[in-house]
Structure 1
Amino acid sequence: MDVTLLADADPVPVVLAWWAAHSALTAELGGPGRVGAYSEEPYPRLRAHEVPGGSASGSNGEMLYLVTTCLQVEALGASADSPGVGQLKRINFVALGALAQLPYQPYVSGPIITGVRFVPGSGGPMPDIDGRSRWVSKVMISSHAPRPT
């Protein structure tokens, strides 16, 4: 077994690239360059990062190869009042809708995304640590590395 299968299954870079290239989400955010793992200008912005709650498993007695990643999705405003919680919720939901499309896309490279599930009870407004407005949700993303041929 290839010892890099588990490491190569990380879906976060694929998710960020998918969102950055997604035309509906780019339009909802107000332009390109607003998706990433950090809170930085320009705003509004979509930030995503892995949080505790995922798992790794195998099947048929194999070693670990399937990864389930818990991803926190955050729509961030420019301040406590701008652009408003309603718009941040809309941005977050468009991002979730775009994520739901990912398992059905033709494979290009990187990990294979096999499923995306919303974590019930995880969505809602929650100010960021610096006071800016934010809408937060969590998803579980199942993925695995491509099988060697």
Structure 2
Amino acid sequence: MAADDLARADPLPRVITWLGAHPLMVAELGGVDRVGLVNKPPYPRIRITDPPGDDRDLRWLLAPVVQIEAYGDLDGSPGKAQLRWLLYLALGVLKELPEQETPAAGPVITEVESLLGGSWQPEPNGQPRYLAQVRVYCHPVPA
């Protein structure tokens, strides 16, 4: 295994790109640039994070956890039911990712498995948020 293989197997860029460009997500979120690493307007928005995980067993095939968060605005819009809908839509769209062509930079994503789904957890400031976690099985593109 090359020294940079594990770094090239990071699934976050592919997850963000796939969700942010998927026609269903763009339509339901109300536009482009509503999927990313930070919680910022406009809302609704999908935030992708990498929660603490267990990386003790580093091999060719990795299975990092990715957290998906559906945020609404502080005024409560678009509503709890719509945020749940957006979260589950994102999970469904992510299940399509292993079937997509792998870009030259990779990583190869072989499976997306749900771990925690549909948990209502508003931010401390009251901002509405639903979250879920998936395990993304992936490996770098073979050299």
TM-score range (shorter-chain normalised) is over 0.9
Quick check: which has more Rg, 1 or 2? 1
Q: 1:36 corresponds to which residue?
A: 36
User: 2: CA distance between counterparts of 1:54 and 1:23?
Assistant: 33
Q: 2:80 corresponds to which residue?
A: 85
- The TM-score, its normalising length taken from structure 1, stands at 0.89
Aligned amino acid, residue 119 of structure 1: L
Task: Report the count of equivalent residues.
Answer: 142
Identity value in percent: 38
CA RMSD of aligned residues (A): 1.5
User: 1: CA distance between counterparts of 2:44 and 2:113?
Assistant: 24
User: 2: CA distance between counterparts of 1:55 and 1:104?
Assistant: 25
- Stretches of structure 2 that go unaligned for 5 or more consecutive residues are none
Correspondence list, 1:1-149, <5 A? 1-55=1-55, 57=57, 64-79=59-74, 81-109=76-104, 110-120=106-116, 122-148=117-143
Secondary structure, in 3 states, of the residue corresponding to 2:42?
coil
The answer to whether the Cα contact below 8 Å between 1:54 and 1:67 also exists between their aligned partners in 2 is no
- Stretches of structure 1 that go unaligned for 5 or more consecutive residues are 59-63
Secondary structure, in 3 states, of the residue corresponding to 1:67?
coil
- The TM-score, its normalising length taken from structure 2, stands at 0.92
The answer to whether the Cα contact below 8 Å between 2:46 and 2:71 also exists between their aligned partners in 1 is yes
User: 2: CA distance between counterparts of 1:56 and 1:102?
Assistant: 25
Cα distance per residue 1:54-97 (max 9 Å; x no partner)? 44647xxxxx2221111111000012521111000000011001
User: 2: CA distance between counterparts of 1:81 and 1:106?
Assistant: 38
